[in-house]
Amino acid sequence: MTACLPTCRDLLSRWARRALLLIACAASGVAHAQMPQPPEIAARQYILVDVSSGQVLAEREADARADPASLTKLMTAYLVFNAIRDRKLALDQPVAVSQRAWDERKYGGSLMFIDTTMRPTVEQLVHGMIVQSGNDASVALAEAVGGSVEGFVDMMNRQAAAWGLKNTQFRNPTGLTEAGHHSSARDVAFVAARIVAEHPEHYRLYSLRHYTFNNIKQDNRNLLLGRDPSVDGMKTGFTEAAGYCLVASAARQTPAGTRRLLSVVLGTASREARAGESLKLLNWGWQAWDAVRLFDAGQPVATVPVWKGASSEARLGAPGPLVVSVPRGEGGRLRTTVERTDPLVAPLAQGQRVGTIKVTTVAGATVAEVPLVVQQPVELAGILGRAWDALRLWIK
């Protein structure tokens, strides 16, 4: 049956986040036969995602529940960014620092060093949360968005449930170890990729090397920002229970366009180890895999007959540019096939799904499956045109 998406805008938004939907799935979408083997990674769990194609290139125990430490602040940041986008918060809005935010100093985590006599702006707190990983800044923002820490944590969990993140549950907005507070490498990657896709204007803050507040300068703990010019984020974490964790995001220009890789390593032994293991994963992703652009945005994959329509044909294609990741050198050996609704009967809405585009290797291994959608609307024909096509369909 033909499946219709609500609106063209909604479809394009979903397409822009196709990578995110695939990250949330356990399978990579690429057959493992003769696939490049990742290097040995000294981490309890890890995952490497090609965000541009939506494919998982490598993983180990990516769905195992683990203490996410300050990687929790990715969800905190996402909800704060939403509030700013929705004009529930303004960047220049001063925020009262509660006793609860001030009390974060007692727990031994990272701090922005705000106190109850201060009224930092939302923008300052966001910098403190992202660059300095301040637990106090995270609590202050959580209270500003959710009304209370508990209210904000409810928002975090509702968002995780809406996304279908089955291995994530939050107890606080900071990442301090607490019973029942857990996530997974795959879920963390999903949240990180959401920020990249939906909030690029705020994502740039993750590349800042340092931030100074109240004459206290603190460096970003992501060591890769100074080691690989393609790395432009994203978040570190550490607790005794979690070990040293890192989400690293890197983008490079390729013949297929901008390509972004995102790695998550959990439970490494040191700050240096989390940086080194992440860089090892990213370098393998660049070297062992190619990104191949099969179709540009708006480029039709097929032009097919339409019945009972004001137009006799419809242009069908992917909802956006179709990019896939393949082992190095395999890009010229791909096959693209189309499975679609037949007969195709008007009216057809722009963005309406009418089938599937499948990309496979010569050996038949599936590389990608994406929706086949109508690229331009087709209105109903007049009474005579509909009657004539109805007769032709009956004869057919």
Is residue 28 one of the residues assigned to a domain? no
Average pLDDT over residues 125-137: 98
134 lies in the same domain as 223: yes
Of 28, 52, 110, 133, the catalytic one is 133
Is residue 118 one of the residues assigned to a domain? yes
Closest alpha carbon to 266 in 334, 189, 196: 189
The whole domain housing 346 covers 8-17+296-395
Helix axes 185-198, 149-163, angle to 10 degrees: 100
Examine the pLDDT at 16 and tell me if it is beyond 50.
no
Examine the pLDDT at 215 and tell me if it is beyond 60.
yes
Is residue 22 one of the residues assigned to a domain? no
CA-to-CA distance for 310 and 58, rounded, in angstroms?
48
Pick from 289, 321, 353: which residue ends a domain?
289
Is residue 2 one of the residues assigned to a domain? no
Catalytic residue flag (residue 70): yes
Percent of the chain exceeding pLDDT 70 equals 87
280 lies in the same domain as 301: no
235 lies in the same domain as 370: no
228 lies in the same domain as 273: yes
325 lies in the same domain as 268: no
Is residue 29 one of the residues assigned to a domain? no
What pLDDT does 248 receive? Answer: 98
What pLDDT does 332 receive? Answer: 85
Of 52, 70, 183, 184, the catalytic one is 70
Catalytic residue flag (residue 133): yes
241 lies in the same domain as 220: yes
Percent of the chain exceeding pLDDT 90 equals 72
Is residue 265 one of the residues assigned to a domain? yes
364 lies in the same domain as 380: yes
Is residue 352 one of the residues assigned to a domain? yes
Mean pLDDT, the chain, whole residue set: 89
Cβ(307)–Cβ(343) under 8 Å? Answer: yes
What pLDDT does 282 receive? Answer: 98
Closest alpha carbon to 308 in 343, 341, 339: 343
179 lies in the same domain as 251: yes
Average pLDDT over residues 89-102: 97
Examine the pLDDT at 362 and tell me if it is beyond 50.
yes
Pick from 289, 322, 345: which residue ends a domain?
289
Q: Which pTM does this prediction carry? A: 0.86
Examine the pLDDT at 333 and tell me if it is beyond 50.
yes
- 175 Cβ contact partners less than 8 Å away, ≥ 6 residues apart: 68, 69, 70, 71, 72, 73, 109, 135, 181, 237, 239, 242
Q: Look at the chain and report how many structural domains it folds into.
A: 2
217 lies in the same domain as 70: yes
CATH number, domain of 103, equals 3.40.710.10
329 lies in the same domain as 201: no
Whether the link from the prior residue into 347 is cis, omega within 30° of 0, is yes
Least confident of 23-32, 280-289, 290-299: 23-32
Radius of gyration in angstroms for the set of CA atoms belonging to the chain, rounded to a whole number: 24
133 lies in the same domain as 279: yes
CATH number, domain of 373, equals 2.60.410.10
Pick from 268, 289, 310: which residue ends a domain?
289
Examine the pLDDT at 391 and tell me if it is beyond 70.
no
Catalytic residue flag (residue 358): no
Is residue 362 one of the residues assigned to a domain? yes
365 lies in the same domain as 278: no
Of 52, 73, 278, 280, the catalytic one is 73
